[in-house]
Structure 1
């Protein structure tokens, strides 16, 4: 505490002399609002990294400041070593107040509630607890392989679309792990509610998306006004959010009461058992469990990474052949015919390199929405001022383009992870978040990614679809946000 107070006081004394980090020229009225693109902001931020350096600042109307961190060293320096200063969540009128996302883990501010949430995650996602989810993982991957095999048998031309089944496999895994719910297709009510809430959330947190965030008095406008569409969107979001959290949670509660609940994240916490400390037993608040469970669905989906993997295999068949050869050699030596398991990972270095390169090549969250500075601070060494309330944005995309052979880092090349001289930064150090906001589900997510990728490579060959002449024709791969389409 004494250190924090002293640090804050030193910043207070220096604030009149310290400059903001560099950035594009600010307009007197709308500041940098027009400098922010409507999509793929990380690409513009990456361009600015070359022009302005490792820390870039932008100003928005309403005395709001965005601070973009462009390098892993800068990110770690601020968010790991000084995380206590920058771990508050940005507060927006639209997302926090009107839509009600302030209750979620993602937007929860530092304090006792967030500490309770973290405790629940540590209990239910500890290495010991993760082992209990392997059956759910195996079932989801097995159903995925069976569905593709069945679809292939029905199509004499062998043209099978992987992508819908990949999404369904990820949903089955998450719903089974979190709620113990078996999902047959993506039209399941729990799934549609959760996906709708995620879409609304993603829209709400885009900087500059809603004028009410810059002009807070607009929150008091009646929603029937033609230009108050944001109020109608907020009302819809509150309904969708509540339904998405309550229905699956109540389902598990009813199953627990009836004594028929399968093992899951929620049933484990409802039982009050801490598998990392079997001698401990505690009653956890239902509202806490509900909020954490809902956030796990939105925060752990590997769908984007798996779609990027399929795109990479289409674009680079030589990589696919090399990975398949490694799998064939390993399974042939051991006489294996079953699905890959976690124990196989140490024997399949090239397959692991393919996964690492996929995570690096197209990070699922290229621009992390990390936190907010709750004090006015001065960055050591650079001397730049970070105003109180600044939004901190780690530019993961730029970090992924850092390393040896920089001119090739937009290319997909797993061999770079097999060569010490060319090895880039470990994607695990930046794709799962930073500091106090790091993804607590990293272990279980990495496990599922490995098994899914290894299962696809060992069971199928991913090829372009056939055209009307029966010849392979490479589809046009478009990137919507960070996800290939």
Structure 2
């Protein structure tokens, strides 16, 4: 046979083999995809046709309902459906770690919402923006001032500002909530904007409080029907429908919080009397910023001061309540402080490593009444379904980590409803994990300011314990926490 025949036959063989191999791979992909679609969804409450579970989504204390569903269906992963939108609830440390940490590349996006995102404007916030270049820019800006080395540079200011709290508690101890809020505001706003808080009615304090209240309402799935029926956003404002009225109020609060503090720093820089701050450093880095630069700088400075205000206030309010109802724990911490520091000076950050029981109280405060019982929702990659433990997680699912469920899991934290600082350093409690792992978010969406917040809480707690006795409750009943995503001990 001629050589060309063998070459042609070999070429045809390669083409046929290659085509066969291609179709084999295609068949495997089809089979795998079909298998994935045949996989069951995680268990969950039965819904109604078309609307699913839209009518049963809890708007208050959703973390408790999620826990009840988890027990009812015998699963730490729960599936809900609301008008075709899949919602996945993660009620265990294992499921949160497996999906939000180990598969963070798939689960680090944020779900888009019509109410909070489009109508109010939070869609551009670093906390709610989708993954992409802009989100990475925000993370880089925050890392410049919130890496461990830079956080340590703020400690002298933290030790100085604590005097505001000491003075307030000495003069009017019953108004401790107002003193805590003023102290936290004085610290955070000076770092973020070089703003010196002058009085209890400071505009920054009121604005940060209102922003946190708004976000707590906006981010609960099911609170607004327009998030499921997006066409409702086209209803004219003049109709007076409730969600449109609320959106207008929320948007005005957001715009004031974005623009007014930023403009204040800009004017101070122009006048030459601006104090060093995070916002000043943003403004000064570019002489002629683009519109996009300005938008990013405004959002970065906004999140810096709003995220750190009410969350720290909530933690310290929980600490005061915990000490009031656990006097023996308070005495034990005070004895440790007296033994390590004595009475000749006030506590400082250098004392932290020598105060393990105070550190344990801080951890238990984080655990027992977490500031954010459920994390800000994540979103699964929109391109394909995921498979987890034999379940199908539909693409574009809203994924909610129920941190409260983890922090009250009896397998992780024995006697989970008791205030037990001993659980973190006594032999019989060695397996109790540090609750800070579940208090500041997950994966690529973890809070960049957690080190600064934790430092603030520590120096506050140790100073209060060293200088004051926190008496028992006078009302006879423990105050109830607010039912929102950012929980606060109410003032009355």
- Structure 1 residues 324 and 254: CA distance shift in structure 2, 3 A: same
Q: CA deviation at 1:353?
A: 0.3
Match for residue 306 of structure 1?
A: 316
Match for residue 242 of structure 2?
A: 229
Q: CA deviation at 1:8?
A: 9.8
Match for residue 6 of structure 2?
A: none
Q: Deviations over 1:408-443 (max 9, x none)?
A: 111111111122432422112111110000011111
Q: Which residue among 200, 203, 212 is the counterpart of 2:226?
A: 212
Q: Deviations over 1:72-104 (max 9, x none)?
A: 121111111111111111111111111111111
Matched, 1:427 2:435: yes
Matched, 1:367 2:371: no
CA RMSD of aligned residues (A): 2.3
Matched, 1:129 2:150: yes
Partner Cα distance (1:10, 1:442) in 2: 45
Match for residue 55 of structure 1?
A: 77
TM-score (norm 1): 0.88
Say whether the 8 Å CA contact 1:304–1:364 is kept in structure 2. yes
Q: Deviations over 1:337-366 (max 9, x none)?
A: 13x222111010000000001101111111
Partner Cα distance (1:131, 1:406) in 2: 31
Say whether the 8 Å CA contact 2:67–2:405 is kept in structure 1. yes
Match for residue 243 of structure 1?
A: 256
Kindly report which structure 2 residues correspond to 1:350-429, keeping only aligned pairs within 5 A, or say none: 350-375=357-382, 376-380=384-388, 382-404=389-411, 408-423=415-430, 424-429=432-437
Kindly report which structure 2 residues correspond to 1:279-294, keeping only aligned pairs within 5 A, or say none: 285-294=293-302
Q: CA deviation at 1:406?
A: 5.3
Kindly report which structure 2 residues correspond to 1:131-150, keeping only aligned pairs within 5 A, or say none: 131-150=152-171
Matched, 1:348 2:355: yes
Matched, 1:261 2:282: no
Partner Cα distance (1:40, 1:92) in 2: 20
Partner Cα distance (1:222, 1:11) in 2: 47
Say whether the 8 Å CA contact 2:363–2:421 is kept in structure 1. yes
Which protein shows a greater Rg?
2
- Structure 1 residues 474 and 8: CA distance shift in structure 2, 3 A: farther
Matched, 1:483 2:491: no
Q: CA deviation at 1:190?
A: 2.5
Say whether the 8 Å CA contact 1:186–1:192 is kept in structure 2. no
Say whether the 8 Å CA contact 1:367–1:394 is kept in structure 2. yes
TM-score (norm 2): 0.87
What is the DSSP-based 3-state SS (H/G/I as helix, E as strand, rest coil) of the residue aligned with 1:483? coil
What is the DSSP-based 3-state SS (H/G/I as helix, E as strand, rest coil) of the residue aligned with 1:22? coil
Partner Cα distance (1:107, 1:310) in 2: 32
What is the DSSP-based 3-state SS (H/G/I as helix, E as strand, rest coil) of the residue aligned with 2:409? coil
Partner Cα distance (2:231, 2:32) in 1: 31
Partner Cα distance (1:59, 1:167) in 2: 39
Match for residue 109 of structure 1?
A: 130
Partner Cα distance (2:344, 2:274) in 1: 33
Match for residue 155 of structure 1?
A: none
Partner Cα distance (1:406, 1:102) in 2: 36
Which runs of 5 or more structure 2 residues have no equivalent in the other structure? 1-27
Q: Which residue among 295, 312, 325 is the counterpart of 1:315?
A: 325
Q: CA deviation at 1:484?
A: 2.3
Say whether the 8 Å CA contact 1:124–1:265 is kept in structure 2. yes
Q: Deviations over 1:232-279 (max 9, x none)?
A: 221222221111111111122222233322222212333449xxxxxx
Partner Cα distance (1:484, 1:181) in 2: 26
Say whether the 8 Å CA contact 1:94–1:204 is kept in structure 2. yes
Partner Cα distance (2:138, 2:412) in 1: 41
- Structure 1 residues 11 and 72: CA distance shift in structure 2, 3 A: farther
Partner Cα distance (1:171, 1:271) in 2: 24
The answer to which structure has the higher helix fraction is 2
Partner Cα distance (1:448, 1:389) in 2: 37
Q: CA deviation at 1:192?
A: 2.1
What is the DSSP-based 3-state SS (H/G/I as helix, E as strand, rest coil) of the residue aligned with 1:107? coil
Matched, 1:75 2:75: no
Say whether the 8 Å CA contact 1:368–1:393 is kept in structure 2. yes
Match for residue 446 of structure 2?
A: 438
Q: Which residue among 197, 219, 224 is the counterpart of 2:211?
A: 197
Task: Using the TM superposition, name which of 343-352 and 141-150 deviates more.
Answer: 141-150
Matched, 1:164 2:174: no
Q: Deviations over 1:5-63 (max 9, x none)?
A: xx9988744332122111111222431123322311111111222233121111112x1
Match for residue 453 of structure 1?
A: 461
Q: Deviations over 1:379-418 (max 9, x none)?
A: 34x1211112211100101110235585611111111112
- Structure 1 residues 220 and 48: CA distance shift in structure 2, 3 A: same
Say whether the 8 Å CA contact 2:53–2:82 is kept in structure 1. yes
Partner Cα distance (1:476, 1:223) in 2: 43
Say whether the 8 Å CA contact 1:8–1:377 is kept in structure 2. no
